Amino acid sequence: MHVEIWHNPACGTSRNTLALIRHAGIEPTVVEYLKTPPSKARLAEAIAAAGLSVRDAIRQKGTPYAELGLDDASLSDDALLDAMIATPVLINRPFVFSPKGARLCRPSEAVLDLLPPVSEPFMKEDGEVVIDANGVRVR
């Protein structure tokens, strides 16, 4: 199964998502989108495939969102996409793509919907159990 993740190694959610993909026995294509941002068309495609609005895909926390005036409700999707491409830290993460679909995996365990069944226990970096000792998804 081919899986791609738009990854930020400084983000715990992104690291946990990547770990879950690997826990499922898949070595994904890892795109560090801060170094190699997607094209505007690819970003728009990813957002639509994940069933999100452009605003839903913008990261506000820890970004220049407010400073750039992106909270202006009159801005078009096109203008928001331009801002996200110019300043990739505005792209929320991690986006994951698999044959089962596309998702913004927040929380990280949302990635399980895009993977084959995983029955081995898994715990996040912070110790939160995602898959218990019986192989049951906790959330």
Q: Show which residues are catalytic.
A: 11
Give 15's contacts (C-beta < 8 A, 6+ positions apart).
9, 125
Rounded Cα gap, residues 53 and 19, in angstroms: 27
Q: Which residue, among 13, 77, 70, has the nearest Cα to 48 in the 3D structure?
A: 77
Nearest to 103 by CA among 35, 33, 3: 3
* CB of 36 closer than 8 Å to CB of 85: no
Cβ-contact 40, 82 below 8 angstroms = yes
Instruction: Report how far residue 74's alpha carbon sits from residue 51's, in angstroms, rounded to the nearest whole number.
Output: 21
